[in-house]
Structures are given as structure tokens and as C-alpha cells.
């Protein structure tokens, strides 16, 4: 059977690749991959910080539990001391004390560590994105390993549709707005009176008792959050955490951010790896308040210098010099955390100065301490 050959070659249909034949569109030329030569250690650094901070919180919690129990048992052990680090779990007290310090110029005597830790985490978020959430926060760490377990079990992660995801993300800002509004109505004297009330003095004990004596409703809510976190990455952090909302707003002003360069080959591995479901492969730079600085996108990127955590171009004109290495980010986080805590300890503004006799009176009856109305 004869083959018909067009007389004029210009009339012949151009040959398309297989993918283009299926879609009917010409395929985009694929960029040449300049494979990265360095070994990425960002996730090793990050998981080391997560593990160390999780162990630190377990140690603080255990020490604090036995310190509380001595007052409940009526047998005081002079070797047991209250660990100020537990005040990291009192962010509202930290905000109140921060306002008190701004208004009065005096560092508060009750829960001062809460303020210094809050300022530390705000500084970390400003310099290194919302890194507290993905590098230090024990809730963030537990949440991450829950969804990773779900991803292995179901071979995928689940994300809510955009029409539902956006309004739900607004919940944490509503919660933050409520707390900010409540604190904004308080004067310096009102904050001082609140902190020196029985409730304010043992706010940390009441926090511990909430989990020790958690009721059926609390267990159900906690169970729902755990199950939801298995399916949806960082469910609590993404939708409900007001602390994360505050740190996210701070990180929006950060001079550092993830930047994508011309060496990107459009493989979209970065977008698939992003726990916050950000379109890293479509944007030149990531300014979203949802970016936690986890560096997962950089870790999976196969192209040399395609993705970097970068400083502003005003600081370094050349892209390679502007890049912030993972080890420098880890060192910066460690210096800020240890430096601020060390400064507070050295200046005598770390430990809450409350006599033991006051704790002997208040701790055994902590559940009866009522929340005072904020003074103006």
C-alpha cells in the first residue's frame, strides 16, 4: 500500500511530543537540571531542635509536677524548686507583662519568664520566619509527627477545599484578636492587680491541673484534635492556635524569606513537600504568614540554588551571598533562646519572686481560685 507524502513540506503537520499530542498543546521546553552538590542537613538540624525542646519541656513539666505535689502533700522539700521555664506555656501572661513593662518601665515580679520567652519567640519569628512553630514548639512537633504518621498510613495527606480552608484559618486570628482586645483594655495597675491575685499567682498551677483533672468534654475535644491532625497537616496550628497567629503576623515583616531563582526546573517537589500547602513552585518569594521556616521545600529541591532562605537584596547583592544556610539559622535560633534566657537569669528577672508560704496557701486550693475580672 502506497504512502501519501505531502507535496509541500510546509503543509505537513508539525511533529509534537507524546504529551503534547494528548493535550493538543505544545509542551513547554524543559529546563536543564543543574543538580545541587551540597548535602542538605536542614531537617537534621530542625529535628534535633524539636527533640531537644520536647525533652526540655518534658523535664520542666515533670519537675513542676513534683514541685506542685509537695504543697498538696504538705511535705515541703527544700531541694525542689519551681522551674521558671514552665511560663513558656503562659503566653497570655507574657503579653500582659509585656504591656505592663511598656507602660510602667518596670519588669514584673510575677511570671517574668513568660514575658522574656514571648519576646524571644517574637524575635525568632521576625528573623527566621515562624520558626518557633516548626523548630521549637512541642505542640507543633507532636502535630507534625501525627500527620506524618497519617501520611504513611493513608499514603497521602488531606487538605480542606479552599472555600473552607480560608475561613477556618481566620479562627486563630479571631482568638488572637479577642486576647489582644482584652489586654488592651487593662491599665498597668489593672495588670499588676491581676497578676498579684490568687488566680494570677498560680496560673501555671491551674494550667497543670487542667490537664491533670481533664474532664470528659476536654478529652473529647483533645481526641478530635488528635484525629484531625492525623488527616490534615498541622490542624491545630493552621486553624486554631492564636500564638501561631501572633508569630505569623510578626514573620510577615521578616527580612528573610524563601526565594526561588532561575535555576528552578519546575518539578513542583517543593510545593508537594510544603506542610502549609503553599505554592512555592509558582512564586518568586514566599511572604505568607503560614510559612513556618521548616525548610522542607529547600530540602527536597534537586536544583542548585533554586530555593534558598535568603536575606534582603539590600544586604547582599549576589543571590549566593544572600542565602542563609540552615546551620546559620539553627545557630541564630539557639543564640536568641539561650541569650535572652541567660540575660534574664543574670539580671535577676527570670524567677517569680513569691514566698513559699504563699504557695503553701494557694496551691492546694488552686481549683478554687476564680478568674478575676480585668481591671481598667
pLDDT, one tens digit per residue, over 83-99 is 999 999 999 999 999 99
The reported pLDDT for the residue numbered 101 is 97
Q: What confidence score (pLDDT) does residue 69 get? A: 96
pLDDT for the residue 38? 86
Percent of the chain surpassing pLDDT 70: 89
Helix, strand, or coil (residue 324): coil
The Cα 247–Cα 228 span in angstroms is 23
Average pLDDT score over residue span 220-248: 96
Helix 91-104 to helix 162-184 angle (10° resolution) is 40
Q: What is the pLDDT of residues 243-276, one digit of tens each?
A: 999 999 999 999 999 999 989 999 999 999 999 9
pLDDT in the model for residue 2: 42
Looking at residue 28, its pLDDT comes to 56
- Percentage of the chain modeled with pLDDT above 90: 82
- The pLDDT value given to residue 188: 96
pLDDT in tens, 293-325: 999 999 999 999 999 999 876 554 554 557 899
> Can you give the pLDDT at residue 294?
97
Query: CA 247, CA 243: separation in Å to the nearest integer?
Result: 6
Please tell me the predicted confidence (pLDDT) of residue 355: 92
Residue 59 has pLDDT above 70, yes or no: yes
Q: What is the pLDDT of residue 17?
A: 44
pLDDT at 370: 86
Q: Distance (Å, rounded) from C-alpha 118 to C-alpha 344?
A: 13
- Residue 12 confidence (pLDDT) above 60: no
What integer pLDDT is reported at residue 320 of this predicted model? 55
Q: Is 225 exposed, middle or buried (0-12, 13-18, 19+ CB in 10 A)?
A: middle
pLDDT at residue 374, rounded to an integer? 53
pLDDT confidence of residue 3? 42
Q: What are phi and psi of 134, to 5 degrees?
A: -105, -10
CB contact burial 62-76 (16+ within 10 A = b; e otherwise)? ebbeebbebbeeeee
CB proximity list for 334: less than 8 A, separation 6 or greater:
49
Q: Which three-class secondary structure state does DSSP give residue 136?
A: helix
Q: Is the pLDDT of residue 283 over 50?
A: yes
Instruction: Judge whether residue 7 has pLDDT over 80.
Output: no
Amino acid at each position: 500500500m502506497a504512502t501519501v507524502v505531502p507535496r509541500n513540506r510546509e503543509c505537513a503537520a508539525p511533529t509534537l511530543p507524546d504529551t503534547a499530542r494528548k493535550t493538543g498543546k505544545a509542551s513547554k521546553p524543559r529546563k536543564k537540571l543543574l543538580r545541587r552538590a551540597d548535602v542538605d542537613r536542614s531537617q537534621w538540624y530542625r529535628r534535633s531542635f524539636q527533640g531537644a525542646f520536647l525533652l526540655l519541656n518534658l523535664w520542666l513539666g515533670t519537675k513542676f509536677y513534683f514541685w506542685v505535689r509537695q504543697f498538696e502533700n504538705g511535705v515541703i522539700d527544700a531541694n525542689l524548686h519551681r522551674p521558671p521555664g514552665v511560663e513558656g506555656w503562659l503566653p497570655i501572661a507574657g503579653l500582659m507583662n509585656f504591656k505592663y513593662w511598656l507602660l510602667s518601665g518596670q519588669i514584673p515580679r510575677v511570671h517574668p519568664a513568660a514575658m522574656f520567652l514571648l519576646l524571644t519567640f517574637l524575635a525568632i519569628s521576625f528573623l527566621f520566619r515562624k520558626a518557633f512553630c516548626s523548630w521549637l514548639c512541642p505542640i507543633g512537633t507532636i502535630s507534625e509527627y501525627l500527620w506524618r504518621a497519617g501520611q504513611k498510613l493513608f499514603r497521602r495527606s488531606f487538605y480542606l477545599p479552599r472555600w473552607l480552608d480560608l475561613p477556618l484559618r481566620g479562627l486563630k486570628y479571631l482568638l488572637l484578636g479577642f486576647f489582644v482586645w482584652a489586654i488592651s483594655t487593662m491599665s498597668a495597675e489593672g495588670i499588676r492587680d491581676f497578676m498579684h491575685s490568687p488566680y494570677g499567682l498560680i496560673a501555671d498551677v491551674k494550667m497543670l491541673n487542667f490537664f491533670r483533672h481533664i474532664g470528659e468534654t476536654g478529652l473529647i475535644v483533645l481526641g478530635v484534635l488528635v484525629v484531625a491532625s492525623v488527616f490534615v497537616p498541622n490542624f491545630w496550628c493552621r486553624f486554631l492556635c492564636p500564638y501561631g497567629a501572633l508569630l505569623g503576623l510578626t514573620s510577615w515583616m521578616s527580612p528573610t524569606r524563601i526565594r526561588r531563582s532561575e535555576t528552578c526546573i519546575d518539578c513542583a517537589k517543593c510545593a508537594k513537600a510544603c506542610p502549609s500547602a503553599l505554592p512555592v513552585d509558582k512564586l518568586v518569594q514566599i511572604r505568607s504568614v503560614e510559612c513556618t521556616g521548616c525548610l522542607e521545600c529547600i530540602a527536597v529541591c534537586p536544583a542548585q540554588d533554586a530555593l534558598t532562605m535568603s536575606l534582603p537584596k539590600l544586604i547582599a547583592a549576589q543571590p549566593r551571598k544572600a542565602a542563609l544556610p540552615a546551620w546559620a539559622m539553627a545557630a541564630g535560633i539557639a543564640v536568641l533562646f539561650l541569650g535572652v534566657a541567660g540575660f534574664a537569669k543574670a539580671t535577676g528577672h527570670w524567677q517569680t519572686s513569691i514566698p513559699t508560704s504563699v504557695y503553701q496557701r494557694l496551691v492546694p486550693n488552686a481549683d478554687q481560685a476564680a478568674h478575676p475580672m480585668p481591671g481598667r
